[in-house]
Amino acid sequence: MNKKVIAGLVVLAGVIGISGVVESKKEHEANKIPTVGVLQFMKHPALDAINQGINDELAKEGYHKGKNIKIDFQNAQGDQSNLKTMATRFSSEHADISVGIATPS
C-alpha cells in the first residue's frame, strides 16, 4: 500500500474513533442526573428558608431530590475556610450549577 492510502485509513480510523467518543459522551450526558451544589454559610432560620425555597421551586419544575436531580447541600457552619473547600469540591465534581446562600458563600 502506498503512504497516502495508509495515511487516509489512519485519519478515517481517528475520525470514527472520535465520533464514537463524542456520541458516547452525548448519550452519557443525556442520561446524566443533574447535580446542584448548594453551599450555605451557616445555619440560620433565614438561610434555611432560602434552601427550602430552592428545593420547593425545583420540585415545582419537576425536579425531585434523589429521583431526577442530585442536590449536594453543604453547610460551612460559619467557617470561611470550609467554604473554599466545599466550593472547590463542587467544581471538581462538575456540579451543573452551584448556589451560594449568604454573601460569603
Any idea what the CATH number is for the domain that residue 86 is in? Answer: 3.40.50.2300
| Three-state helix/strand/coil letters over 1-22 | CCHHHHHHHHHHHHHHHHHHHH
Q: Which of 23-32, 33-42, 53-62 has the lowest mean pLDDT?
A: 23-32
Instruction: Find the mean pLDDT for residues 37-54.
Output: 95
Mark whether 18 and 59 lie in a shared domain.
Answer: no
Which residues are bridge partners to 71 per DSSP?
Answer: 36
Instruction: Tell me the residue range of the domain where 63 lies.
Output: 33-101
* Distance between CA atoms of residues 23 and 92, nearest Å: 23
Mark whether 14 and 40 lie in a shared domain.
Answer: no
Mark whether 38 and 74 lie in a shared domain.
Answer: yes
* Distance between CA atoms of residues 100 and 56, nearest Å: 16
Average pLDDT score, the chain: 82
Mark whether 7 and 22 lie in a shared domain.
Answer: yes
pTM: 0.68
pLDDT higher than 60, residue 52: yes
Mark whether 84 and 52 lie in a shared domain.
Answer: yes
pLDDT higher than 80, residue 24: no
Backbone angles phi, psi at 9, to 5 degrees: -65, -40
Could you tell me the maximum CA-CA distance found in the chain, to the nearest angstrom?
75
